[in-house]
Structure 1
Amino acid sequence: MFLSLAVLGSFLVSQVAAHGGVTSYVIGGTTYAGWSPYNDPSSQTSIERPYSTYDPILSPTDAKMSCNNNGQASAHQLSATVAAGTSITAKWSQWTHAQGPVMVYMAKCSGSCTSSNSNSLKWFKIAQTGLISGTLGNGQWGLGQVMNTLSYTATIPASLAAGEYLIRHELLALHQANTPQFYPECGQLTITGGGGKTPSGSYLVSLPGAYSMSDPGVNINVYSADAQTATTYVVPGPAVWNGQ
């Protein structure tokens, strides 16, 4: 029994270590501390929205799907001022899953983002990296890049209208057959400059609501026989808005 408990404990520790969340942002050469999910939330100040765990969200319709929380800002929420056209690098302190896409979304707040619930916003995608090369079962993925560098860089569209926004980084881990794991975290930005443009129509989605378990990019078994020869992967969600 002791041996079984020890093995189980080791397994659980390894599973926690495999998970992760955004822990900081680098914007225009400045590093902004992210949220610390296992520390006292009442004493934290960060541009990142609060979240409580590195554990995954297992359903695309989960109420926490927008920002891995209840949609609210923290008690001492900050925002970073960023010029349109600036690159933003999200960083993770740990990540070990190599199969799956990386996606970056933004959402414009109608007024103050601090008083906005992320579940009520309309989101648009500004970057994504899915299957880069090879096959679904034995290929190079966006998550593999995150695993190797613990970072992902996206650029705010230069034409984006000024205003208050949330930025959302999402890792979709596909290492368990037909059991997707979603890892989204959000930060608050005040965008300056820009060209006054915002996306519309099919570029805008709700979160939750953008995905379903029936989506081919969500309900997938990378260990199936077909996956060993398939070279095409459809990243879930809307097309990337390039600022046009």
Structure 2
Amino acid sequence: MKFSSFLALAATVAGISAHGVPQSFTINGQGYPAYDPQVDPWQPHAPKVNRPMSDDGPLYSKDDPMLTCNKVGTQTPAEMTADAAPGSPFIIQWDRWPSDHKGPVLTYAKFCGPGHDDCNNVQDIVNGWFKIDEAGYDANTGQWASDQLVAQGASWTLNLPPAENIQQGSYLIRHEIIALHSQGAPQFYPHCIQVYINGGTGSLQGQSVSIPGNVYSNAGDDGTLFGSIYSADVSSMSIPGPTLANGAISNAYQKREEPVARRRHHAGQH
């Protein structure tokens, strides 16, 4: 191999491994390996519950048509659907996350239909998303949600909405880190997992958004809300996206418009 070709290959490999992807999920106490973009496209593998992605690289615009479920995953369903109960813990274990890629961690849910595998054939993947978890900047500790994720061994835990706030059926669970280390150039890392929730008696209620679309409409262009964490007054930066769905219990640190105590009370209401 020519040295120039070797350098090009090395640069490609370095780019592929520079960020992170989910490594596994624990849903309702059951473990599931995650899709591996460096292995699974070419080798036989056990079915995966998350939608595939082409690599671990970011998307660079809130208007990117692939923002819904990442490159490949926006058009391609998962190979299987996980089962869960309302209110059950949902753990996303990343393979790694670079400590300098700081920013919020967000999770959304979209109802696909009453059938177990309805997310395989959902016609409208863009509309009807509700935020069920969020965390931003903690002014008390000076840490971002991504710092918390790194400190927890690149792991993030949330709870699915309780039975009275979710309908039984199939859902896309969209987990996302937004890295804000570059001025006016946010990096989006979304991943979608297919889940069937058995036993819900209510429905998702709150502010429904489109992804892409009005999900980050309060951002203006990409450089307005998503300023650099190194040059902006991070304590005044809002968590991007809509308010939490009714009944969602958030990991949020970051203030919105209301006082912290009120926000936490609202987030915990059923």
Q: CA deviation at 1:118?
A: 6.3
Structure 1 position 102 matched with structure 2 position 105: yes
- 1:41 and 1:14 map into 2 onto residues whose CA distance is 19
- 2:199 and 2:223 map into 1 onto residues whose CA distance is 38
Q: Unmatched 5+ residue regions in structure 1?
A: none
Equivalent residues in 2 for 1:150-165 (5 A)? 150-158=154-162, 159=164, 160-165=166-171
Query: TM-score w.r.t. structure 2 length?
Result: 0.77
Q: 1:4 to 1:39 in 2, by over 3 A?
A: closer
Aligned partner of residue 66 in structure 1, secondary structure: coil
Q: Assess if the C-alpha contact under 8 Å between 1:217 and 1:236 holds in 2.
A: no
Match of 2:174 in 1: 168
Q: Assess if the C-alpha contact under 8 Å between 1:18 and 1:94 holds in 2.
A: no
Q: What CA deviation, in whole Å up to 9, does each residue of 1:10-54 have, x standing for no partner?
A: 776555433112221012322111111122437441111111110
Q: What CA deviation, in whole Å up to 9, does each residue of 1:80-129 have, x standing for no partner?
A: 11000101000100111352000011000135111115633411000111
- 2:41 and 2:246 map into 1 onto residues whose CA distance is 35
Letter aligned with residue 101 of structure 1: P
Q: Assess if the C-alpha contact under 8 Å between 2:68 and 2:125 holds in 1.
A: yes
Q: 1:234 to 1:217 in 2, by over 3 A?
A: farther
Q: Assess if the C-alpha contact under 8 Å between 1:72 and 1:116 holds in 2.
A: no
Letter aligned with residue 20 of structure 2: G
- 2:185 and 2:37 map into 1 onto residues whose CA distance is 24
Match of 1:187 in 2: 193
Aligned partner of residue 58 in structure 1, secondary structure: coil
Q: 1:215 to 1:69 in 2, by over 3 A?
A: closer
Aligned partner of residue 194 in structure 2, secondary structure: strand
Q: What CA deviation, in whole Å up to 9, does each residue of 1:174-193 have, x standing for no partner?
A: 11121100000010000011
Structure 1 position 65 matched with structure 2 position 72: no
Q: Assess if the C-alpha contact under 8 Å between 1:108 and 1:121 holds in 2.
A: no
Query: TM-score w.r.t. structure 1 length?
Result: 0.84
- 1:80 and 1:169 map into 2 onto residues whose CA distance is 15
Match of 1:78 in 2: 80
Letter aligned with residue 177 of structure 2: L
- 1:4 and 1:113 map into 2 onto residues whose CA distance is 45
Q: Assess if the C-alpha contact under 8 Å between 1:93 and 1:150 holds in 2.
A: yes
Q: Assess if the C-alpha contact under 8 Å between 1:85 and 1:194 holds in 2.
A: no
Q: Assess if the C-alpha contact under 8 Å between 1:51 and 1:68 holds in 2.
A: yes
Q: Assess if the C-alpha contact under 8 Å between 1:162 and 1:191 holds in 2.
A: yes
Superposition CA RMSD, Å: 2.8
Q: CA deviation at 1:146?
A: 1.6
Equivalent residues in 2 for 1:93-242 (5 A)? 93-96=95-98, 97-110=100-113, 112-117=118-123, 119-133=125-139, 139-148=142-151, 149-158=153-162, 159=164, 160-200=166-206, 203-209=207-213, 210-211=215-216, 212=219, 214=221, 218-224=225-231, 227=232, 229-242=233-246
Match of 1:28 in 2: 28
| Structure 1 moving runs of 4+ over 6 Å | 3-12
Q: Assess if the C-alpha contact under 8 Å between 1:171 and 1:182 holds in 2.
A: yes
Q: Assess if the C-alpha contact under 8 Å between 1:66 and 1:118 holds in 2.
A: no
